[in-house]
Amino acid sequence: MIKKFFAAIFAAALILIAVPCLAAKPELYYQAHIQDRGWLKAVKNGGIAGTTGKALRFEGIVINLNDLGRSMVKYSAHVQNIGWQTWQESGGLAGTTGKALRMEAIKIKLNKPYDEKYDIFYRVYVENGGWLGFAKNGEPAGTTGAALRMEALQIFLVTKGKTVKSSGGKKPFYERQIKAGTVI
């Protein structure tokens, strides 16, 4: 009887350790590194990281989205003179600091099994283009091959199947078709 009791407790403990807790919506925080300003204050789900209308380059981003100590998110930045960087996990730096290089685009996706319960939407504010449309679940947002800086980023974590309000019909990503100085 005692062995069965302890076996049941042990099995329950293993389940709690092995299966991430998906009951409550996790907290999403992200922090931008901006030209001449350094690290700005972290914002949470739906907040705007960076600046708009100030012509300051977005240089780096750290996204924090964890569940019981496990990273729920991966993200990759496209950086001036570097291109697409390797994927970072929650808390890692995408982009650069101290190198005066602009981020031009970003991709953000959720790790398994979180991608089965949530979607992640994000959009960027781009030089000469303002807010672009929303990308989601690993799609690129921003520009490549156009030498246009990102200036701000907005991210939403939503329950699977829900959406966020559209931003005027612009595409989320432009690749090499735009020349510097072109208005989007």
Look at residue 17 and tell me if it is in a domain: no
Residue 165's SS3 state is coil
Cis peptide, bond prior to residue 113, ω within 30 of zero: yes
Look at residue 115 and tell me if it is in a domain: yes
DSSP conformation class of 86: P
pLDDT the model gives residue 75: 98
pLDDT the model gives residue 180: 60
What pLDDT digit, counting tens, does each position of 122-141 carry?
Answer: 999 999 999 999 999 999 99
pLDDT the model gives residue 5: 46
Give the chain's domain count: 1
Residue 17 in this model has a pLDDT that exceeds 50: no
Look at residue 12 and tell me if it is in a domain: no
| Strand boundaries in 16-139, DSSP class E | 29-34, 38-39, 43-44, 48-50, 58-64, 66-67, 70-71, 73-79, 83-84, 88-89, 93-95, 103-110, 118-126, 130-131, 135-136
Query: Which residue range is the domain that position 87 belongs to?
Result: 25-175
How far apart are the C-alpha atoms of 84 and 75, rounded to whole Å?
10
Look at residue 3 and tell me if it is in a domain: no
Q: Which of 114, 133, 117, 116 is nearest to 174 (CA)?
A: 133
Q: Where are the alpha helices (DSSP H) in the chain?
A: 2-18
pLDDT the model gives residue 20: 46
